[in-house]
Structure 1
Amino acid sequence: MTELRPDLAVIARNVAAGSRILDIGCGDGALMAVLRDEHGVDARGLEIDPDNVAAAVSRGLSVVQGDADTDLADYPDQSFDYAILSQTLQTSTRPRVVLDDLLRIGRRAFVSFPNFAHWRVRLSLLWGGRMPVTRLLPERWYDTPNIHHVTIDDFRALLGERGITVEKSWFLSGDKQTGSAAANLFAEHAVFLLSR
């Protein structure tokens, strides 16, 4: 498999071959290209950054410029097997609405996000008193696109409130998978496969 960011690799391994997917916040289309080329997936994308849209289109991918906060309402119900939102939920203005739209548009949804309750984040705040800058959260607080600092436990609570089913979850520390028991403390990133 082509080298992907760890959360994208998890998603790529778990999307059924031949599926129809919508990758929201698809970046340069790296995941879509792997799914198309290695799994025979019919992949479509939505991306806000025009340079990323151009990069994805240059790979021969079907990507349109748009914003998850406003443009998901235009997609018909159940038009995809999977809606994918990788490291985009925390950048959205209305995460609950985006999450509901994902599960309206797709029969199932993958959501991945950085866990702001990871022990390194907590330690940085405790000892340094400042928002952390790490390998996986490389921007300073004033440059970050993250506007909602979500934790795994926060996300699980939101899913419970919205009546959303977790079919499967993966917790990543660096490039390796970690257990779910203390994921809120030890996982840097989380990936959830969801359904209604």
Structure 2
Amino acid sequence: MPESLRNLRYDLSIIASWVRPGTRVLGLGCGDGDLLYALKRHKKVVETGIEIDEAQVARCIERGLTVVQGDMNEEVKDYPDDFFDYVICSQTLQQAYDPSGLIREMLRIGKHAVVSFPNFCHWRIRLQMLASGYVPRTRELPYEWYDTPNIRVLSLNDFRRFAGEVGFSIRKEATINSRDIRVTGTEVGFLPNLRATYGIYLIGR
């Protein structure tokens, strides 16, 4: 992996390592475009992004990225089948009002899809809730219950069960420990639903 990709946030560097050079990539909720920028620069992908925040879209455009402002839940419906090689939804699934519908659309317009999200069943979250009696706040989930953009919370086990219920396959996964914007982290193999802060999944039809 190029050194510049290693300088990405740890979870994004794992996603970048899964993307083949020269492919077409759509980033849903792409933020300021760090992942798309790295993929465009170092893997020569043809990038497109969808982001709802106007300031973030402006930042992406300043970086030379092709990004449209809009609701990812609606914008994905405008693309034809198999238009992209990869559709990436990084730490945004928990903000989708219809996760199953969104994933179906991702797999309709993309040959591969990548999904990542914070694990709400990490041991620190369980302990904080047990000890305090309040909805937990962590570095991965730093909001109060009344101002969080996360309308759903899920665990790694929830996602695996969800895959079976919705009918998509998990082709590759990485369960990791990483703190927010840090470029370092570790993969968790033992008891990941208890010990991993994030899950990253390459999924297919």
Aligned residue number for residue 192 of structure 1: 201
TM-score by length of 2: 0.92
Determine if contact 1:170/1:177 at 8 Å carries over to the other structure.
no
Aligned residue number for residue 97 of structure 1: 101
Rounded to whole Å, the distance in 2 between the matches of 1:135 and 1:149 is 15
SS of residue matched to 1:61 = coil
Q: Which amino acid aligns with 2:84?
A: F
Write out aligned runs for 1:24-173 (5 A). 24-173=28-177
The structural deviation recorded for 1:180 is 3.7
SS of residue matched to 1:108 = strand
Q: Which runs of 5+ in 1 are unaligned?
A: none
Q: Which amino acid aligns with 1:22?
A: L
Q: Which runs of 5+ in 2 are unaligned?
A: 179-183
Rounded to whole Å, the distance in 2 between the matches of 1:178 and 1:33 is 24
* CA-based RMSD: 1.1
Alignment pair present for 1:178 and 2:187:
yes
Determine if contact 2:177/2:188 at 8 Å carries over to the other structure.
no
Rounded to whole Å, the distance in 1 between the matches of 2:67 and 2:48 is 6
- How many matched pairs? 196
The structural deviation recorded for 1:181 is 4.1
The structural deviation recorded for 1:5 is 1.9
The structural deviation recorded for 1:25 is 0.5
Rounded to whole Å, the distance in 2 between the matches of 1:41 and 1:118 is 34
TM-score by length of 1: 0.96
Rounded to whole Å, the distance in 2 between the matches of 1:144 and 1:193 is 26
C-alpha deviations, 1:45-73, integer Å up to 9, x for none? 00011111000011000000111222211
The structural deviation recorded for 1:137 is 1.6
Aligned residue number for residue 181 of structure 2: none
